[in-house]
Amino acid sequence: MAKRIGILTSGGDCAGLNAVVRAAVLRARDGYGWTMIGIHNGTAGLLARPVEAEELDRRMTTSTVLRMGGTILGTTNKGDPFAYPMADGSRRDRSGEIIEGCRLLGLDALIGIGGDGSFAILRKLAQQGGIPFVGVPKTIDNDVAQTERAIGYATAVTTATEALDRLQPTAASHSRVMVLEVMGRDAGHIAIAAGIAGGADIVLIPEIPWRLDALKRKIDALKAEGRNFALVVVAEAVKTAEGHTVDADRGFGQRRLGGIGEYVGEQLAAATGAETRVTVLGHVQRGGMPGAEDRLLASAFGVHAVDLIAQGKFDRMVSWWNRDVIDMPLADVVNNAHVVDPAGPLVRTARGLGICLGD
Ligand code: F6P
């Protein structure tokens, strides 16, 4: 039977989102003869009246789309529909309007491409509205539970590694300690992976508490062996020596992290006397063309998400697990986090390479 499938992107953008949408449209249209409806700006498109959405046609299936960064559909990472911030400062439950938005579009099922925060909201909406729902994990942070990989992570790691490639020659030219602050709201996946790939000397991640004396020892040891520079990677969620995260309140009940790199840089300069410079990589990690690994993952996830709908399997998230594309219950994904395992392979590798992890 012909179906109308809605698809939306939710939360922060990342490289590879358009590749998922393209794959889902190809599979739905050519594999099953279904119609795909692209919803604009995540749940915000379903709140708007008229609902903001479009039928995704042949233009969406070109390989141009496969290569594009960002999300053609638009997204939002604010405005929880169950406690929506209103102009007068109050909060209102607008979930019913979103469910009504799905009905107005005549959707038989919905695919949501998001992170754990988005899945918690979308799952609740799906349950409340009886909407058959399938999730596709994305986030440069790679902190979605029940999948080894989320879309956008591999490209972000490449970008952070390239930043270290550029920082190293200037660090060596000026005999400086270069601190690179990378993203990762709750987890240090980008920091540890880019730190290893980019030859960092010190990597600080939120999963491993750090001490200044350990950092000083590492810098002193490098100096003693004749090294005139050092590369330090700090994940944005790393806490200060006093145990505080460095952030700025942005309203909407969300934290915006940033600034721990500067803090670590100042501490290092004071403790070692080294000339220190800090680079905050920020949203450079999110934008840009998806790398090959993200295009591959996105394509596999888009196809599998549509196949799940064909099989009548809902309330599930597609997942990359043990070199296979499978699906997991969303119940096991929400309110769970995938952080760096302090005893896992990347931490072991870093330690084996002599990278100081601050402990
Ligand atoms: O979750 C993805 C992420 O890029 C985090 O790494 C970062 O802390 C946050 O989003 C930034 O959010 P925004 O784009 O709203 O500043």
Selection from 264, 263, 265, 258 nearest residue 281 by Cα: 258
**Digits of tens for pLDDT over the chain (359 positions)?**
789 999 999 999 999 999 999 999 999 999 999 999 999 999 999 999 999 999 999 889 999 999 999 999 999 998 899 999 999 999 999 999 999 999 999 999 999 999 999 999 999 999 999 999 999 999 999 999 999 999 999 999 999 999 999 999 999 999 999 999 999 999 999 999 999 999 999 999 999 999 999 999 999 999 999 999 999 999 999 999 888 888 865 444 456 888 999 999 999 999 999 999 999 999 999 999 999 999 999 999 999 999 999 999 999 999 999 999 999 999 999 989 999 999 999 999 999 999 999 99
Task: Please indicate whether residue 327 is annotated as part of the active site.
Answer: no
Please indicate, yes or no, whether residues 144 and 164 belong to a single structural domain of this protein.
Answer: no
For ligand 1, atom 14, name the residue with the nearest CA.
12
- CA of 260 from ligand 1 middle (Å) equals 15
Please indicate, yes or no, whether residues 103 and 207 belong to a single structural domain of this protein.
Answer: no
Q: Quick one: tokens of 61?
A: 């299936």
Domain that holds residue 248: 157-286+341-352
Q: Is 211 part of a structural domain of the chain? A: yes
Q: Is 334 part of a structural domain of the chain? A: no
Q: Is 305 a pocket residue for ligand 1 (Cβ < 6 Å)?
A: no
Please indicate, yes or no, whether residues 313 and 212 belong to a single structural domain of this protein.
Answer: no
Q: Which residues contact residue 349 at a Cβ distance below 8 angstroms, ignoring those fewer than 6 apart?
A: 196
Please indicate, yes or no, whether residues 88 and 13 belong to a single structural domain of this protein.
Answer: yes
Q: Where residue 55 sits, what CATH number does that domain have?
A: 3.40.50.450
Give the count of domains, the chain.
Answer: 2
Please indicate, yes or no, whether residues 141 and 118 belong to a single structural domain of this protein.
Answer: yes
Q: Is 328 part of a structural domain of the chain? A: no
DSSP state of 86: P
Measured CA to CA, the distance from residue 279 to residue 254 in angstroms comes to 24
Please indicate, yes or no, whether residues 203 and 346 belong to a single structural domain of this protein.
Answer: yes
Strand 230-235, strand 202-204: pairing: parallel
Q: Is 40 a pocket residue for ligand 1 (Cβ < 6 Å)?
A: no
Q: Is 170 part of a structural domain of the chain? A: yes
Q: Is 184 a pocket residue for ligand 1 (Cβ < 6 Å)?
A: yes
Q: Is 358 part of a structural domain of the chain? A: no
Q: Which residues contact residue 334 at a Cβ distance below 8 angstroms, ignoring those fewer than 6 apart?
A: 116, 119, 120, 123
Please indicate, yes or no, whether residues 199 and 347 belong to a single structural domain of this protein.
Answer: yes
